[in-house]
Amino acid sequence: MDQNRQTLLYHFCRVQLPGVALAPTAFERHLKRAYELYRAKSDNGASEAVFLDNLYPLDWYLASACLDGDNRAWEALFAARTSRADCLLVDALRARAVRLYPRDEERQENAVVEFWSHLLVPETPGSLATLARFDGQRPLVPWLIRVFQNWHISQLRHHSHAAVQALPDDDLAAELPVVGANGQWHEAFCLAAREWLGGLPDNELLILGLRLRYRLSQREVANLLGVHEGTISRQTTQLRDRCLEAIGQQLITQGWTGDDLSEYILNEMGSLLMDEPRLSADALAALLHAKGIKKVKLGEG
């Protein structure tokens, strides 16, 4: 790997995260590990340059320091946010635990506490620890949330909870479908998704934010906005269908040939919504205020 570029990357991470001190030798070891993970998942054996071009360096550096047992790195991870201005990672995990284990507060709390140690434990003897399977090619926080959710759903399935929807028997930390080693479809998706979001009127944007970002039920949204629950149900379905049609058509036009396009769009949309400025807490509060709703307690999902 280009030594000059590696040195620049190391000093960049040290400057940006001064409290997290990963030794140069450990830095190099983790960088090689992440590249080998990335190359193994690439059909054509992607180059080191492509790997570095698509690396989220601070996310990867923080995860590597956590693997090396740096307490300050773990503290930084606990304090990580799910978007530029909203809830903490630990709060997002707790919100998902509430949905996974309704009416069981003790299990909800334990689910989050146990997760941190789970990150350092291999799924099977001789395999990599869960956190060591993060190759830095996508943002760390959405990846962790997805691993958390999939892990607990897998545990629920193992104990034969009939209400839990079955998941594919794939690797819990596997990347979402990406066609092409350079992640070209992620960029194409973001452009198409932001174009679609930019065309939404305020009333639909508000429903999208309340339903998907804050995870309010259809009944809660209907009560909040003073409309019939069936109206919110129809509008939510229409938003979903239009999203899939508009974004899917753009990706197909650009050459998408992979399977499960709808699943890819919906999975990627979850991360994008968390960073969409028009769906920030302040923006949604302004939309509610415009409707005369001045005070409402919103939970983060």
Is residue 248 packed enough to be buried (19+ CB in 10 Å), middle (13-18) or exposed (0-12)? middle
| Counts of helices then strands in the chain (DSSP H, E) | 14, 0
pTM flag (> 0.75): no
Q: Please report the pLDDT score of residue 299 as a whole number.
A: 46
Contacts of range 262-269, beta carbons closer than 8 Å, 24 or more positions apart:
263/177, 264/176, 264/177, 264/185, 264/189, 265/189, 265/193, 266/240, 267/176, 268/176, 268/186, 268/189, 268/190, 268/193, 269/193, 269/243
Least confident of 36-50, 54-68, 153-167, 252-266: 153-167
Q: Please report the pLDDT score of residue 167 as a whole number.
A: 34
Q: Which amino acid is at 180?
A: G
Per-residue burial over 28-49, b if 16 or more Cβ lie within 10 Å, else e, is bebbebbbebbbeebeeebebe
Sign of CA dihedral 98, 85, 218, 267: negative
Angle of the 261-274 helix axis to the 184-198 helix axis, nearest 10: 70
Cα atoms in the Cβ-side hemisphere of radius 13 Å centred on 120: 12
- Asked whether the beta carbons of 261 and 178 are under 8 A apart, the reply is no
Q: Please report the pLDDT score of residue 181 as a whole number.
A: 33
Residue with tokens 């970002």, as numbered in its chain: 213
**pLDDT confidence band for 295 (50 / 70 / 90):** low
Nearest to 200 by CA among 212, 187, 184, 185: 212
Report the residue count for the chain. 301
pLDDT at 18 over 60: yes
Beta bridge partners of 129: 122
Spatial separation of the C-alpha atoms in residues 15 and 4, rounded to whole Å: 17
Characterise 25 by phi-psi region: left (phi > 0), alpha (psi -120 to 50), beta (else).
alpha
**Annotated domain spans of the chain:** 3-158, 184-290
**pLDDT confidence band for 74 (50 / 70 / 90):** very high
Q: Please report the pLDDT score of residue 67 as a whole number.
A: 93
How large a percentage of the chain has pLDDT more than 70?
A: 83
Least confident of 70-79, 109-118, 170-179, 290-299: 170-179
Least confident of 10-19, 120-129, 221-230: 120-129
**163 vs 236 pLDDT, higher one:** 236
